[in-house]
Chain A
Amino acid sequence: MELNKLTLIDAIKGIKEKKFSSTELVSDCLDKIEKLEPILNAFVTIDKDNALNQSKNIDITKPLAGIPIAIKDNFCVKGIKVTASSNLLKDYTAQYTATVIQKLQDAGAIVIGKTNMDAWAHGSSTETSDFGPTKNPWNPLHLPGGSSGGSAAAVASDEVVTSIGSETAGSIRQPSAWCGTVGLKPSYGRVSRYGVIAMGSSMDCPGPITKTVDDAALLLSIISGHDPKDATSINQKPWEIPAPLKDLKGLKIGLPKAYFPDGIKFAVKEAVLNAAETLKKLGAEIIELDVLDPKYAIAVYTVLQRSEVSSNLARFTGIRYGHPRSTFGDEAIRRIMLGTYTLSSGYYDAYYLQAQKVRTLIIEDFEKQFKKVDAIIGPTSPTTALLLGATEGQSMFGELEDMLVEPSTLAGLPGISVHCGFGDGLPIGLQIITPQLREDLAVNIARLFESNTDYHLQHPNL
């Protein structure tokens, strides 16, 4: 029956209306996983028996009753291994459950497995996973993007109906762009970080990677809300799904020139400009913007994130967790070294402090832009999915791939990436950035774009 091909919303409907059972849905997903994993390697752990058992005993009144969900392997789920795709944690079983997962489970969802990622979320390719790269379902010779590449590939290939990823800068949106899924990165603090293995703590943000905008909105409404266990979580009630807009009349949407840098793939530029046309037809006024060059964001992000990484990974001392620090992969070691350097006495002022000052300038620039426009659009990534091996010897690979999402990340802004075209048979992503806590607007623009295009209806031929 291939129930795995359903969207989240349709799967919920099917189970509630008893058109099929949760067990049938879970089984179809597991079949597909079994079939595709030798090619894709989207999963680090598949919790087959537990998922099947749980599917037999569901509470139909719950919003996600019996829905299997794939979770990026940096979320702790008590009793299941959590490795962050690293050899250092390959034998570590989570001792408690992350708030996001608890909320999903309380809503009736079933964790079907943990998805592959760049080790410790260090990257934009999933190629730095200590357990081998994940492949792009549209063309397995290509990368899925990252770091939530496993979640995006699992959704794009219909191994599952829906998934959760996390983003520090681009890790939800960029793999969504490359895999043709919807990636919703909420405002920093909208969703609890408790139980997510920390990468860049001041930017880390869990969020959904899904087949449609409505699926993403539904998941955000469930995983968001204040968490007393996360001091940086915003004191707000769970986010509510906004009523849809009929059109975009009266909305001003900014198109920054700087988001089309030299070397941008032509098909990407074309698809995003076409998308702008679509939004214009829906009533939006498109305004060209002069924004701060994203290259500054790369520098700032690199310094801040490496600094935080060097401290966050220090707890893996080799005494606990079973494996020595020499188990860290090259990318983790590079980041720890750079972060240790930028925090060192004598360099702190020149790097960390300076980066914080520029971060403030970036935030102010967005505030300025949002006085002129309601939302900003642009390509999520300057390219389509690159070939396997593209990251080798490219220690700044992720930063260049993510240069168009890093500015909004540093400002803690919400953003969504939706499928807006193809280049050489590979998906292209359109990102929509809105002001702090205006996920409603991003979702509504994305929803209208999606319902007026058919890219999201296309599936890879696997």
Chain B
Amino acid sequence: MKFTPIIGLEVHVELQTKSKMFCSCDASHFHAIPNTHTCPVCLGLPGALPVPNRTACEYCVKLGLALGCTINTETFFERKNYFYPDLAKSYQITQLQKPFAINGKITIDDHEIRINRAHMEEDTGKSVHQTIDCLDSTLIDYNRSGVPLVEIVSEPDITSPEMAKNYLLKIQQIVRYIGISDADIEKGSMRCEPTVNLKVEDNGEVFYTPMAEIKNVASLTGVQTAIQFEIDRQTKVFEETREVKSHTNKTTRGWDADKNQTFLQREKEGSADYRYFPEPDIPPIIFTDQEVEKIRESLPELPEQKIKKYKEKYELSDYDANLIAGDKHFSDIFDSVINGKGETLPIQGYAKFLANIFNGAIRTYLNENALELDISKMYNNYFWNLYVAVSESKISSTVAKQVIVESYQTGKDPVEIAKEKGLIQVSDSGEIEKIAKEVISQNAKAVEDYRKNPASIGFLIGQLMKASKGSANPQLAKEILEKLLK
């Protein structure tokens, strides 16, 4: 038997608009005091009415464009009716028939994952389960109720847990690039519900296992492990029962991150009837072609485009290009540093130098100290000065890595730091010759060794470097010593 996973992802992204989707309440809710960002609308009080947030709709269109979707310029909201204690109105305002964006795609390692839709909806409140006065209680925090949410639904084109993770990372990257959300999975501003089943090929016959939707996955690694668990579970169940997918046996399974396993939450998912109908409180939403074009023009250069540029124009390696483009902050400052020097010089050398500094010294420093990149500490001219110094052999690449970190910490010019610390390489051959002569006269034994074994010159170079306090250009030092000892 051959098992191939079929995975589709529903991704919810909370938009970082100032106000909520249908009222003027503050949309930020992380760590806010419960029920302080609420009003009659998001509490669902009788008589209150929703007024759509145009900026949120624009963000949804923007995301749709970034995902290569077709935009529905005339669309409307619908009510999805269901009961849940934290759903204030007992219906969610969402989109079913005509999402803002349809038919997009994302490419991961040459594998195309089609995007079915990206639609606009509102978040629900949050149920908080607590024991109060020895009673198991559920408290409801409506701060999150009505926060704008975009749901991105993929086609079931994902074939492995790792691909699912990469797909999520890609969505996260794009969302952050276009600046509509921090898409932080741990904070809940990006949430993911994978649906998994298996294609089974057995003796020329093809079967499909029952579909399972996995809920409560709250981390990137969780997504990967949960999907893998589900693949293994379904493989085992199929081998035992040979049960195949039907319209009524889709299940919802929760992810238990402590036990690393999924568990059954709801059966017969296929029979849920949400009684969708057009939201009578909100007139159709219309974007003119010009408005869509304006949003398209406002899109920044996206990661794909950046990687292409880094590789083709700057001749960076695949590794460097991906690493820099992977983080919007890094790539923005990288572009800004490069652009600061215009297009005049052979840019590839500078780009390579910057990539080494960015992906090496700075990234290592940030990672070791668990810091976020602070772009205000990055000065375009410092990088250029350092590059010039290294190209002219005034500063060694080792020293460059050291001083750039110090520059990042202190805000001082890295070349000045090198000067102050006497780390400028001496490439004046007269000066080095003077030191070399001293070293030769003081190390008769080593000179003797050299004459027997030329490979032992390293010791003398070391002595010379020491005497120059590390400032001598090591290559030049070697050449001069060899000349003097001939």
Contact = CB atoms under 8 A, between A and B. Distances in A.
Interface of A: 74-76, 82, 84, 89, 92, 94-96, 98, 193-198, 200-202, 228-232, 307-308, 310-311, 314-315, 317, 319, 340, 343-345, 348, 352
B277 A231 contact: no
Nearest to B272: A345
Contacts of A345: 273, 275
Contacts of B52: 231
Interface string B23-54: 00000000000000000100011111111100
A72 to B, nearest CB: 12
A315 B44 contact: yes
Contacts of B83: 314, 317
Contact of B49 (A200, A231, A344): A231
Interface string B67-91: 0000000000001010101001111
A197 B47 contact: yes
Contacts of A75: 47
A226 B384 CA distance: 58
Nearest to B43: A95
Contacts of A352: 277
Given A232-B283, A311-B275, A343-B275, A98 B90 contact: no
Interface of B is mostly: loop
Interface of A is mostly: loop
B51 A229 contact: yes
A315 B90 contact: yes
Interface in B433-486: none
A315 B89 contact: yes
27 contacts: A76-B45, A89-B46, A95-B45, A96-B48, A98-B47, A194-B49, A197-B46, A197-B47, A198-B281, A202-B280, A229-B49, A231-B49, A231-B52, A231-B282, A232-B282, A311-B91, A311-B275, A314-B89, A314-B90, A315-B44, A315-B46, A315-B89, A317-B90, A319-B85, A343-B276, A343-B277, A352-B277
A195 B51 contact: no
Contacts, number: 90
Candidate in B48, B52, B79, B83 with the most chain A CB atoms within 10 angstroms? B48
Contacts of B40: 95-96, 195
Given A76-B46, A231-B283, A315 B85 contact: no
Contacts of B48: 96, 194-195
A381 to B, nearest CB: 26
A174 B159 CA distance: 64
Candidate in B45, B88, B276 with the most chain A CB atoms within 10 angstroms? B45
Interface in B243-285: 273, 275-277, 280-283
Interface in B299-329: none
B142 to A, nearest CB: 11
A308 B280 contact: yes
Given A230-B51, A314-B81, A317-B83, 5 more contacts: A195-B48, A198-B46, A308-B280, A343-B275, A348-B277
Given A311-B81, A315-B89, A345-B273, A232 B281 contact: yes
Nearest to A92: B46
A317 to B, nearest CB: 6
A96 B45 contact: yes
Candidate in B46, B88, B281 with the most chain A CB atoms within 10 angstroms? B46
Contacts of A84: 46
A231 B283 CA distance: 7
Contacts of B276: 343, 348
Contacts of B44: 315
B277 A82 contact: no
Given A198-B47, A229-B51, A343-B81, A311 B277 contact: yes
Given A95-B40, A314-B83, A193 B49 contact: yes
Given A231-B283, A314-B83, A317-B83, A195 B47 contact: yes
Nearest to B271: A345
A301 to B, nearest CB: 14
B137 to A, nearest CB: 13
Contacts of B85: 317, 319
Nearest to B285: A231
A231 B46 contact: no
Contacts of A98: 47
A115 B277 CA distance: 32
B280 to A, nearest CB: 4
A195 B45 CA distance: 9
Contacts of B47: 74-76, 82, 94, 98, 193-198
A311 B46 CA distance: 12
Contacts of B281: 198, 201, 231-232
A344 B280 contact: no
Contacts of A314: 81, 83, 89-91
Contacts of A197: 46-47
A352 B97 CA distance: 15
A344 B46 contact: no
A231 B41 CA distance: 13
Nearest to B273: A345
Nearest to B84: A317
A132 to B, nearest CB: 22
A396 B253 CA distance: 45
